[in-house]
Structures are given as structure tokens and as C-alpha cells.
Amino acid sequence: MNHPQNIAILPKEGCYGCGVCVNVCPTSCITFTSDPEGFAYPLVDQAACIDCDKCIQSCPGLNDRDRAQFLGSPVFYAGFNLDEHIRHNSSSGGFFSLAADQILAKGGVVYGARYNFDSMTVEHARVDAAADLAPLRKSKYVQSSTVHIFPEVNKDLLTGRPVLFTGTPCQVAGLHLFLQEKHANLFTCDIICHGVPSPDLFASHFSALAQAHGKPITNIDFRTKAKGWKGPLELYLAVDFDGDRTLTYAPLDAYYALFLANLSLRPCCYVCKYASTQRQGDLTLGDFWGVKQHHPELFDGQGTSLLLVNSEKGHQLLQSVSPAANVRPITTVRPFPPNLARPTPKPKYRDRFFTRIDLARWHPRRRWYHLRAVAIIARDKFWGVVRRFFNRGL
């Protein structure tokens, strides 16, 4: 039987993997299943579908958000958290923690991404005490699962407590479409996002590292500041194996190199409709990599955030955290973050990479793709230097 009235009509490139469709289905006929690339997609039991259309009406790939509450264009700020410890343990300037602390101090609840090392995955989690916030800090470079979280957010909103939901712009868009109605107590932060890698690739890579090390992984830090915060091509990966720590220059780790070279991203990321200054969150958080050249007064090598205030709520949130931050409005954003202008371009080897490697085990062919990734990173670095030389920004 053919059912055109459900989420099965969505092409792969249109699916952000948020899982809202699973949650709105009244007959529970949608499940989430990983494809051979390791990304989860909805699978519809067509015999159980009643053609209610709810999955289609609430899909961020098929609907646009009502942006009535948003400012015409965002206002840019830059700065950092004055708490040195928290800033050190954040990816850029530590603004996520400032916003989260503010919500928790008012008796609220915060949602964000954290590792689950038992299943070697990243998933969204709920936190309602400042002492439990640390696992939500830092960028995890893999798609976080939100499929289970939207009903929990709704429950918290209905109690009247303030709620902060953080994530990629597509996850924030998914939440709004799930909720349908506006909630005065909901605050959202999206991140500037250049794309999310495959969860199965993440699991197989880090499980293989743990096996090779002979100890379980207890933490992964894609954004360690052990060598400072200098630029997008000077990133280090710190992995904790139950007390032992390894520090690796990012391009020398195969998984990180594939991410930086954009070879391992979800198909929708290459056509992402949220890669623009028309944001989904009240606040947008990102790295301000050009701060040293253009706002040296805000640079000390420890991390500076770029912030976009997108709505009146975003403005209120920023005002409330300002006493704990060094933050100011800026007019020059150079280099302009590419993903505020367009989606990440798809490299020509991307599809070949996924068809030729075996995600279930560490395959020697990955070394070849690791080398390709390093070549792409080196090429980008070369053009970055040329651009800086001519001072053109992006």
C-alpha cells in the first residue's frame, strides 16, 4: 500500500535526524534506524500509518519556523566568561555556561549534549542543578540524539519553570515544531554548526582507540585548551582512558581529520537551510576566530565567543549574564563564519568514503581517507593564509 502522507516522502538530504516525527506519531508507527553511513532516519510501518499528516507538519526539513518574534537581523557581540575555570572547560568563551547558570539560578532546567560512554554515543540530557552542568560543556563533534528529549522539554515547560534548550539550529527548529505553541518560559541557544559526523563512525573509532589502549574511555575533549585557543586549524584532541590522557594534534587523529575535511557529515549538512544569519535560537553561540586581528582587546588566547542576539528573549538573556562576562557589541566580524552564510560544501570524496569503508570495524582503507582528509585540511590552511595575506576575510 502506498502512503504518500507520511515522513517516508522525505529525501535523505531533507532529514535532520531530530526525531520529532517519532514523537508526534499517534500510532507509534515510526522508528529511528541507522543507515549504512551510521546516521539515523525514520522508518515508517506503512500498515500502521493512519495518514494523519502529523509527522509531515512537524518536520523541520519540510516546514519553516514562524519567525515573528525574531529581530530582522541579528546583533553581534563578542566576549568571554569571567570565570577562568569554566571558560577553560568550554569550547570558546564559555557563554553556554553563563546562560545555563542564569536559568538554573531561577529554578529552571537546561538541556544540552553529553557523552554516554557505555553506548559510545552523544545524546541530549536534562540538568536541573549547577553541579551537573559539566558534562554538557564543550563541543562533541558527532550528531547528538534528541529523539527521546522533546516530550521531557514539554513537560518542564508546562510546570512553568524556565527552560534553556541548546543544540544545533536544526535541533532547535525541531523543538519548536514539536511544541507548536509559544512558551514564555522557553529560551533557546543554537550553535554555529558546520555539520555533524556519523554516530556509528564515532562509536567505531573511539571503541577501537579504547581497545588499542586497553582501558575504557572516560572523557573525550575535542576542544581541549591544553595548548591554548588559537584557531580552527590549531585544535587538539584530548582523550582520557580511565586516568591516562592522550593529546593529539587534530589532523593526526583519523576521525577528527575526516570531520575537519567535511568527509563524514550527515547528508543534510551539505544543504543545510539553517546555515544563515536567520537563526532558530534566541541566542547563537560560536567561536570568534578573527578576534585577535580585529578586536585584540577581547583576545588572550583562552577563547572568545561570537554571539548573535536574535530575539528580545536573547537580548534579555545576554543582559542578565553580562555582569559575569567581558562582552561588547561588535560591528566587524572577520573572518565571517562560513556557516552563517552557506552550508558546508560537499567534498567529492564524501560518498565514496562512506561506500568504501566498513563502519563496523577499523578498516585499513581508512588510512587512505585519513591522508585525503589531511590533504584537504592542508589545502584549506594554505588558502586561509593567502586570504589573511590579502586581508579579505571570508
Ligand X SMILES: Cc1cc2nc3c(=O)[nH]c(=O)nc-3n(C[C@H](O)[C@H](O)[C@H](O)COP(=O)(O)OP(=O)(O)OC[C@H]3O[C@@H](n4cnc5c(N)ncnc54)[C@H](O)[C@@H]3O)c2cc1C
Stretch that binds ligand X, among 162-170, 174-182, 272-280, 374-382 (CB under 6 A): 162-170
Spatial separation of the C-alpha atoms in residues 119 and 305, rounded to whole Å: 31
Q: Give the torsion sign (CA, 238, 241, 242, 247).
A: negative
From residue 215 to residue 244, the character string flagging contacts with ligand X as x (rule: CB under 6 A) and all else as - is ------------------------------
Stretch that binds ligand X, among 84-92, 206-214, 246-254, 351-359 (CB under 6 A): 84-92
- 59 versus 265: smaller Cβ distance to ligand X: 265
In single-letter form, the type of residue at position 308 comes to L
Least Å from the CB of residue 234 to ligand X? 14
The CB-of-189 to ligand X minimum distance in angstroms stands at: 6
Task: Closer to ligand X by CB, 90 or 264: give it.
Answer: 90
DSSP for 275-314, written as a single string: -SSS-SSSEEEEE-TTHHHH-GGG-SSS--EEEEEEEHHH
Span interacting with ligand X, options 172-180, 285-293, 318-326, 346-354, rule CB under 6 A = 285-293
The C-alpha torsion from 242 through 248 and 253 to 255, rounded to 10°, is 60
Residue showing cell 558546520: 194
Establish if 38 lies at the interface with ligand X (CB under 6 A).
no
Among positions 287-326, residues that touch ligand X (CB under 6 A) are: 287, 305
Residue 85: strand, helix, or coil: helix
Question: Is the separation of the CB atoms in 122 and 199 below 8 Å?
Answer: yes
Q: Which H or E element spans position 329?
A: strand 325-329
Is there binding between residue 70 and ligand X (CB under 6 A)?
A: no
The smaller minimum CB distance to ligand X, of residues 334 and 363, is found at 334
In contact, 160 and 134? CB cutoff 8 Å? no
Q: Which of residues 179-198 bind ligand X (CB under 6 A)?
A: 191-194, 196
As measured in angstroms, the least distance from the Cβ of 297 to ligand X is: 19
Q: Binding of ligand X at residue 144 (CB under 6 A)? A: yes
C-alpha distances in angstroms, 186 versus 75, 85, 149, 159, 371? 20, 28, 15, 12, 45
Smaller CB separation from ligand X, 138 or 372? 138
> If you write DSSP's letter for every residue of 99-154 in order, what string do you get?
HHHHHHHTT-EEEEEEEETTTTEEEEEEE-SGGG-GGG-S--SSPPB-TTTHHHHH
Strand pairing category for 109-116 and 163-167 = parallel
Q: Which of residues 118-137 bind ligand X (CB under 6 A)?
A: 122, 136-137
Stretch near ligand X under the rule CB under 6 A, chosen from 165-173, 179-187, 235-243, 360-368: 165-173
CB of 1 to ligand X, least distance (A): 37
Shortest Å distance, C-beta 45 to ligand X: 28
- Residues near ligand X (CB under 6 A) are 90-97, 112-113, 122, 136-142, 144, 166-168, 191-194, 196, 285-287, 305, 337, 339
